[in-house]
Amino acid sequence: MSAPEAKPPIKYHSRYPFGVDEKRRVQVPAKWRPEEENTQLTVIVWPQHKAGTCLRVLPPHEFAKLLETVEAMPNSDPKKVLLKRFIGSESDQLTLDKAGRMVLPEHMARAAGIQNEAVLSGCITYFEIWSPDRYETAKAADSEVAGEAFGLMG
Q: How much is the pLDDT for 127?
A: 98
What's the pTM value of the predicted model, to 2 decimals?
0.91
pLDDT in tens, 60-92: 999 999 999 999 999 999 999 999 999 999 999
CATH superfamily of 15-130: Transcriptional regulator MraZ domain (3.40.1550.20)
How many C-beta atoms surround the C-beta of residue 16 within 10 A?
16
Range scoring the smallest mean pLDDT among 19-23, 34-38, 90-94: 34-38
pLDDT band at residue 7 using 50, 70 and 90 as cut-offs: confident
The pLDDT value given to residue 11 = 96
Pick from 117, 120, 62, 56: nearest CA to 91: 56
* CB distance 130 to 147 below 8 Å: no
pLDDT confidence of 153, banded at 50, 70, 90?
Answer: confident
Q: Is the pLDDT of residue 137 over 90?
A: yes
Name the residue ranges covered by the structural domains of the chain. 15-130
Render pLDDT for 109-135 as a digit per residue (tens, 0 to 9): 999 999 999 999 999 999 999 999 999
- Write down the pLDDT at residue 95: 97
How many other CB atoms are there within 10 angstroms of residue 94's CB atom? 18
Distances (CA, A) of 134 to 23, 32, 86, 131, 145: 21, 22, 22, 5, 17
